[in-house]
Amino acid sequence: MRKVIIFLTIFLNIFLPHCSKQLLQNEKNWIEDIIYTEKGEEYKCRVTKITSDSIYIATADTELTFPQKEIRSIDLAQKREGHLWKKTTDITDPILLQSLKTDLSEFSDKKYVDIYCKRHLKIEKDSSYAYSIRCIRAICSEKGRNAGNINFNYLSREEKMEINFGRTITKEGEVLHLRENAIEDASIYSRIPPYENAHERKIALREVKPGNFLDFKVTIYGKISEESPFILETTLGNAGPTLKSIIRVEVPRNFDIAWQNWKIEEPELKFSGRNKILHWEIDLLEAFEDEDNAPPKPYVFPGITAGINSNWEKTYKNFNKHLEGEYTPQSSEPEKIYKEIINLIRFVDIPSHKAACSPKSVEEILENKLANSLDKAYLLYSALLSKEHPAELILVRSKTRGELAKDVPSLYQFDGALIRLGEILLDPSSELNPYGYIRPEYQGVSGLSVTKDEFVQIPLFEPGKEKTSISRIIELKESGEAKIEEKMKFLGSMAIGLKSLRYMREEDKKNMIESYLNRNIPGSNITDLSFNHIDNGKPEVQIDVRYTAKGLALKQGNFLLFHIPGIDYSAYSVGATERKYPIYWGKLGKEENEIKINIPEGYTVRYLPKEISLSNPFIEFKNTLIKDAKTITYTDYYIDKEELIPVAYYSEYKDIITQIAELSEEWIILEKKE
């Protein structure tokens, strides 16, 4: 017996280590860990043991031990789908194998091409769900090197995310798997603890080079509930073309599915076992390319919203059930209550669907001293109700996310809130918002009144509420220099932007305005400057400025020549011969100018630019030039009548803008009388 024990001991200590090395060299189930030493060395290995003071590893050739103090970092590899694949010859996935045969030569001018994209939402009987996204992407040019840096969002309290795999297949035939140190997970709003529920998982795939293929898949797990009314909401398309895109929504047969789609054919209904499936499929979707003033992607690309069928009555009742607390304001007048709320709570621009679809309690909002659009609107709603004002709380969805899917009841569709008080709508988000103003992202959208359980159309502000008016009086000297008095009045989003100047130093404000003046009238030098209404809740901002301008006019013998002072209309927005997408402004607007030029003694008007009057359904422009013995008065107005100009009208729109821009190049000529 003793001889047997001695034999086994010799076998385990001599023969087995040798066998282990052979297995490490030959076993397909080899997982590469990486350790990095303080000396800058890198070991691809398997970490076999970690103690308080040492790290034990096995490489393909030997076994090593390192003191902990000599190790800078460790990257422990994870087993994921396909982790055994080292070469293309190891790959067993038919979809990936077929994708690798794609001829990339026709896409050489693109950043990348998505060969295969699949989104699959599977809902179980207990309303738990798994939402997976897989993409096979080929890098086509140097411009596509960033296409391997990929982000996925999820809600950390309600959901968990799994990276199923991430790999690069090189043109040399190697399969390079995602490293653990190339994965980062963090709260999107980590500096704002009340809203740190929104998380982002980032991955960086290896060797993102032209000719290489990327293959990645993630799955988000959660459970549909009143607090987490998850739905699939996607807009197809990317910065590269997509050759095949598949969307599947799978539920038990006894579940009803609600869906709505845009710019895509209706889905095919399939059955598999005890489940039913909605299946959308698109071949060859063009790249979403960069274009000036392009609309948000949902305006031009196919979109799908789908989930478990419900009804809006149940949705708004669930919402109202979670409203907690009451706030009693100091004042009883609606406008004073509004001002109290917007100044009491700091606004943080965090969409509610990325944090929580129901508002926080009044107590929590007051304790946090900051709130997003939904929470701040709820606090105002509570305050108004406490003073018996018939306020309504209206949930809204920003334009950048596309149209509201009224056939798919879910709070997940909304990202902010407004208050309706009689005929007035209030947007109590930013402390800079005047009473009755709504940010452009919520103008012209559909909303849901959770007070009255009805859809509400939020108006698109008329051009006069988004207006810039400039009045300019110019004393022109014979030398060509000028003294100028100017009043600039702003309403709407421009006024709100200028109200933020209250936080700037006087010197910085002066430098900013002087820079603006010099773009229109070179050589401007401010002598006096004042701001009105940037520190109060009035809707307008006015800037009064006095300045001099050297060389406003060019003196040539008995003539003074100059362009219309301060008029610098540009045709930049219509520089392209044709457009791929509509022109998108996101709001209506109006600009108007009145310029009075007092001409030098002894001069008369020799030539004035032409007057023009142009109009179509999208734009309107008119100018006038009136002269007398001592003055020239120029006026104009320019109106954006629609927030979006369709591609079909681009040529007509371009022609009008070009004619307006030509005014900036026209000369006014004064002649000195002999």
Average pLDDT over residues 350-361: 94
Percent helix, strand and coil across the chain, each rounded to 5? 25, 40, 40
Listed in sequence order, the residues at least 6 apart from 418 whose beta carbon sits closer than 8 Å to its beta carbon are 377, 394, 396, 425, 426, 427, 438, 442, 447, 458
Contact 376, 347 (CB under 8 A): yes
Rounded-to-integer distance, Cα 408 and Cα 308, Å: 8
pLDDT by residue (tens digit) across 156-181? Answer: 999 999 999 999 999 999 999 999 88
Average pLDDT over residues 562-566: 95
Q: Is the dihedral of CA 571, 670, 601, 624 positive or negative?
A: negative
If residue 554 lies in a helix (H) or strand (E), which one and from where to where? strand 554-556
Contact 518, 526 (CB under 8 A): no
Rounded-to-integer distance, Cα 49 and Cα 55, Å: 6
Contact 490, 501 (CB under 8 A): no
Contact 35, 47 (CB under 8 A): yes
Tokens of 609: 């630019």
For residue 387, which of 445, 329, 454 has the smallest C-alpha distance?
A: 329
pLDDT by residue (tens digit) across 318-334? Answer: 999 999 999 999 999 99
Average pLDDT across the chain, whole number = 92
372, pLDDT greater than 60:
yes
Rounded-to-integer distance, Cα 491 and Cα 494, Å: 6
Rounded-to-integer distance, Cα 495 and Cα 468, Å: 9
Band of pLDDT at residue 512, cut at 50, 70 and 90: very high
pLDDT at 10: 39
Among the listed ranges 72-76, 97-101, 302-306, 422-426, which one has the minimum average pLDDT value? 72-76
Contact 588, 506 (CB under 8 A): no
pLDDT at 31: 61
**Which DSSP string corresponds to 71-132?**
EEEEE-----TTTT--BGGG---HHHHHHTT---GGGTTSSEEEEEEEEEEEE-TTSEEEEE
pLDDT at 27: 42
pLDDT by residue (tens digit) across 446-482? Answer: 999 999 999 999 999 999 999 999 999 999 999 999 9
Contact 117, 244 (CB under 8 A): yes
Model confidence, pTM: 0.87
What are the structural domains of the chain? 2-75 (2.30.30.100), 88-309 (2.60.40.3140), 314-459 (3.10.620.30), 464-672 (2.60.120.1130)
Average pLDDT over residues 127-149: 97
Average pLDDT over residues 197-202: 95
Q: Is the dihedral of CA 89, 93, 95, 96 positive or negative?
A: negative
For residue 263, which of 296, 312, 298 has the smallest C-alpha distance?
A: 298
Contact 420, 439 (CB under 8 A): no
pLDDT at 35: 86
Rounded-to-integer distance, Cα 21 and Cα 220, Å: 39
Tokens of 204: 């960086």
pLDDT at 673: 86
Contact 655, 542 (CB under 8 A): no
Average pLDDT over residues 610-636: 96
